[in-house]
Structure 1
């Protein structure tokens, strides 16, 4: 029997909150059930299991992160948009470390309403929009988007893991990284010529 008031969204949010508190790797069905004050078995009417729950947390986080980035970048272009995009990304990672970790998962819920969540696709659109001012065509646009994602994810992941022990403040390095990204995007290298045999 489904407990009154318990929904897939409530179970997912409880898992997301727990992930932020204790880390995504420590989210279990039992821990989520305890948080909600229900038996473990009650959760299975709403999610298929732990992998499904983590996939739903990932989709929730992707939606939340893209909303923040969209709000931050609205009406901006060029370096201003890049900086707003990056700062919103980093702020989300700081505020929601467990949810942010979930965005890197490859597992997703089965197709259906949850499988069609707009977050991941909107993230691609937002990145392309932010890069529009740099006048990049394919395949350079894809390569630039991968560079931006790798830089931002790498920085916030190392920062979260305590990887910046040097006395120089991480904030100063972050600002310089964004300056460097902007410079690279403005002077994107021409494609390498394929050697003729």
Structure 2
């Protein structure tokens, strides 16, 4: 993405963009903020009133569907805010909202608080890896991708379940 390409797509001159954004980095940040906000709304709608395995399945399906419907927004939503950069404060706040939705979905697993971040990372990494491979044509075999995805989600749920204190005894 370049400012020239954005200006051309919007049908305006590049200098006109500078009335709205200061730089390409600012434009990317604004796109990331909007994309993270969109993704958070989708995850919230999918998980509201649910917890534990059901919530994680719904979250996983929502993430995958969002990535398929909006691959550019999905990619933009994967950018983490730089906590040392004051310009990233809003992106950090929107990202924290997304994490809060996922943490809420995990409450049904009764995980120790110090493992919640790890569980969110496991969930995001597994889903993201599958989605990126899927969108990039990385699964060339004719086997059913939906079944493979469901198996991945089941494996993630099993792994996260094993982090709960009751399952460790």
Q: What is residue 94 of structure 1 aligned with on the other side?
A: 68
1:188 Cα offset (Å):
2.0
Which of 129, 136, 150 aligns to 2:125? It is 150
Alignment correspondent of 1:83: 57
Q: Which residue of 2 aligns with 1:64?
A: 38
Q: Indicate which of 149, 153, 165 corresponds to 1:178.
A: 153
- Structure 2 match to 1:51: 25
Q: Which runs of 5+ in 2 are unaligned?
A: none
When normalised by structure 1's length, the TM-score is 0.76
Q: Secondary structure at the match of 1:163?
A: coil
Q: Which runs of 4+ in 1 moved over 3 A?
A: none
Bigger fraction of residues in helix: 2
Shift of 1:139: 2.2
For residues 39 and 133 of structure 2, the distance between their equivalents in structure 1, rounded to whole angstroms, comes to: 19
Cα displacement string for residues 14-57 of structure 1 (whole angstroms, at most 9, x for unaligned residues): xxxxxxxxxxxxx2211211222210011011111111111111
**CA shift for structure 1 position 105:** 2.5
Match of 1:159 in 2: 134
Aligned mates of 2:90, 2:100 — CA distance in 1: 15
Displacement of 1:107 after TM fit?
5.9
Query: Partners in 2 of 1:142 and 1:77 — Cα distance?
Result: 16
- Matched with 1:32 is 6
Mapped partners of 1:63, 1:106: distance in 2: 13
How many aligned residue pairs are there?
Answer: 162
Task: Report how far residue 189 of structure 1 moved.
Answer: 7.4
Mapped to 1, the partners of 2:10 and 2:163 lie a distance apart of 51
Distance 1:154 1:171 in 2: 15
SS of corresponding position for 1:139: helix
Kindly indicate whether residue 94 of structure 2 is the aligned counterpart of residue 139 of structure 1: no
Decide whether the 8 Å contact of 2:51 with 2:108 is kept in 1. yes
Gaps of 5+ in 1: 1-26, 191-197
Larger radius of gyration: 1
* Aligned equivalent of 1:126: 101
Tell me, yes or no, if the aligned pair for 1:59 and 1:103 is still in contact at 8 Å. yes
Q: What is the Cα deviation at residue 111 of structure 1?
A: 3.9
The TM-score normalised by the length of structure 2 is 0.88
What is the CA distance between 1:115 and its match in structure 2?
A: 3.6
